């Protein structure tokens, strides 16, 4: 999967989780950039991303993610 496809699928997940079709993400997007992205919604988001991509994040990966780019990098590496 290329990064463009990954970003599109991830954008769809974000829009679904946060119920907002206007969300546009990029590699630098953080919780500060999206209304309602709090610790509870973060758990929901991680679960939805794991389901979409058929993978599981490790606890250290989840706690170490500072932006969407880091999430994309992990997903891309697992997709190889």
Domains held by the chain: number: 1
Structural domain boundaries enclosing 54 = 3-78
User: What is the CATH number for 67?
Assistant: 1.10.1200.10
Q: Whole-structure pTM over 0.85, yes or no? A: yes
For 7-50, how does the pLDDT look when each residue is reduced to its tens digit (9 = 90+)? 999 999 999 999 999 999 999 999 999 999 998 999 999 999 99
For 44-57, how does the pLDDT look when each residue is reduced to its tens digit (9 = 90+)? 999 999 999 999 99
Distance CA 19, CA 78 (A): 27
């Amino acid at each position: 999967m290329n990064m463009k496809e990954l970003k599109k699928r991830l954008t769809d997940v974000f829009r679904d989780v946060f119920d907002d079709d206007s969300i546009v993400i990029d590699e630098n997007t953080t919780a500060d950039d999206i209304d309602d992205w709090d610790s509870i919604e973060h758990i929901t988001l991680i679960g939805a991303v794991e389901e979409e991509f058929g993978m599981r994040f490790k606890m250290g990966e989840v706690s170490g993610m500072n932006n969407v780019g880091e999430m994309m990098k992990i997903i891309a590496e697992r997709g190889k």
